[in-house]
C-alpha cells in the first residue's frame, strides 16, 4: 500500500465513523432532554474512565479508554439496542461482527487489527479492562437516568429491584468498591426522585 492509499484509507474510516453521531440511544442528555447519540456517549464514557480509573488499581487505563472510544462503532451499521428491550443476542452478535469487519476493514491492516481486537475484548468481557469498561457503560446511563426523572427506567416502567438487578452485577464486577455509592444513588432516586448526583453514603 503506497502512502497516499494508506492515508486515504484512514480518512475514509474517520469519515465513515462520523455516522455514529446519528445513532440515537434511549437515554436522554441532562440539559436538553434529547436522546443521546452514541458518539457523545462514547466521549462521556472515556471521561468516566479518566475520572474513575484509579478505583481499579493495576488497570491498563489507556486500553480501557481506547476500548470505550471504539466500543460502539459497529452501531454505525447495526444501530443501538437498548438494554431494557427484548432482543436476539445471537443474531445481534452476528450483525455486529459483520459491521466490525466492514467498518474497521476500511483501515490499513495495523489499525484494523488493533481496533477489531479492542472491540472483541470489550464484547468478550474477560479481561479486567473490559470488565471496567462494561461497568462504565452501565454506570453512565444510570447516572443520566437519576438526573432525567428516571429516564429509561421511567420509560420502561422499571422497579427499583429491577434496576438493582440489571446494573449491580456488571458494575460490582468491574469496579470493586463503587457499588455502595451507586446503590445509594438509585435508592435515593426511587425514594424521592432527587435530582442531585450526591449519594447518601453511610459516612455522612
Number of residues that bind its own copies (CB under 8 A): 59
Nearer to its own copies (CB atom), residue 11 or residue 87: 11
Alpha helices in 17-150 (DSSP H): 38-52, 61-70, 75-78, 89-104, 109-124, 128-146
Question: Cα–Cα distances in Å, from 98 out to 72, 77, 92, 103, 104?
Answer: 14, 9, 10, 9, 10
Cβ atoms 186, 172 nearer than 8 A: no
Candidates 7-15, 80-88, 126-134, 163-171; binding stretch for its own copies (CB under 8 A): 7-15
Q: Which of 37, 129, 151, 171 binds its own copies (CB under 8 A)?
A: 37
Phi, psi dihedral angles at 32 (to 5 degrees): -95, -10
Nearer to its own copies (CB atom), residue 88 or residue 191: 191
Contact between 193 and its own copies by CB under 8 A: the answer reads no
Place of cell 476493514: 105
Q: Which of 87, 181, 191, 193 binds its own copies (CB under 8 A)?
A: 181
Q: Which of 97, 111, 168, 176 binds its own copies (CB under 8 A)?
A: 111
Q: How far is the CB of 91 from its own copies (least distance, A)?
A: 25
Nearer to its own copies (CB atom), residue 144 or residue 170: 144
Can you tell me whether residue 36 is helix, strand or coil?
strand
Can you tell me whether residue 181 is helix, strand or coil?
helix
Look at residues 105, 122, 113, 120 and name the one whose alpha carbon lies nearest to residue 16: 105
Candidates 87-95, 127-135, 151-159, 177-185; binding stretch for its own copies (CB under 8 A): 177-185
Quote the CA–CA distance of 45 and 28 in Å, as a whole number.
Answer: 15
What DSSP line would sit under 72-92, residue for residue?
A: TTTHHHH----TTS---HHHH
Candidates 86-94, 107-115, 119-127, 161-169; binding stretch for its own copies (CB under 8 A): 107-115
Contact between 40 and its own copies by CB under 8 A: the answer reads yes
- Residues in contact with its own copies by CB under 8 A are 2-5, 7-8, 10-15, 17-22, 29-32, 36-37, 39-40, 42-44, 46-48, 50-52, 54, 62, 65-66, 69-70, 107, 110-111, 115, 140, 143-144, 147, 178, 181, 185, 197-199, 201-204
Amino acid at each position: 500500500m503506497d502512502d497516499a492509499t494508506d492515508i486515504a484509507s484512514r480518512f475514509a474510516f474517520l469519515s465513515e465513523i462520523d455516522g455514529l453521531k446519528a445513532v440515537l440511544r434511549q437515554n436522554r442528555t441532562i440539559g436538553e432532554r434529547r436522546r443521546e447519540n452514541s458518539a457523545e456517549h462514547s466521549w462521556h464514557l472515556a471521561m468516566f474512565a479518566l475520572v474513575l480509573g484509579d478505583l481499579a488499581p493495576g488497570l491498563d487505563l489507556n486500553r480501557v479508554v481506547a476500548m470505550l472510544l471504539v466500543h460502539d462503532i459497529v452501531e454505525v451499521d447495526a444501530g443501538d439496542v437498548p438494554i431494557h428491550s427484548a432482543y436476539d443476542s445471537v443474531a445481534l452478535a452476528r450483525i455486529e461482527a459483520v459491521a466490525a469487519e466492514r467498518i474497521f476493514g476500511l483501515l490499513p491492516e495495523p489499525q484494523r487489527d488493533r481496533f477489531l481486537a479492542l472491540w472483541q475484548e470489550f464484547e468478550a468481557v474477560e479481561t479486567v479492562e473490559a470488565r471496567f469498561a462494561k461497568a462504565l457503560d452501565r454506570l453512565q446511563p444510570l447516572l443520566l437516568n437519576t438526573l432525567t426523572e428516571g429516564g429509561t427506567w421511567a420509560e420502561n416502567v422499571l422497579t427499583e429491584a429491577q434496576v438493582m438487578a440489571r446494573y449491580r452485577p456488571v458494575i460490582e464486577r468491574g469496579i470493586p468498591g463503587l457499588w455502595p455509592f451507586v446503590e445509594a444513588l438509585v435508592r435515593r432516586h426511587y425514594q424521592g426522585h432527587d435530582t442531585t448526583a450526591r449519594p447518601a453514603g453511610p459516612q455522612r
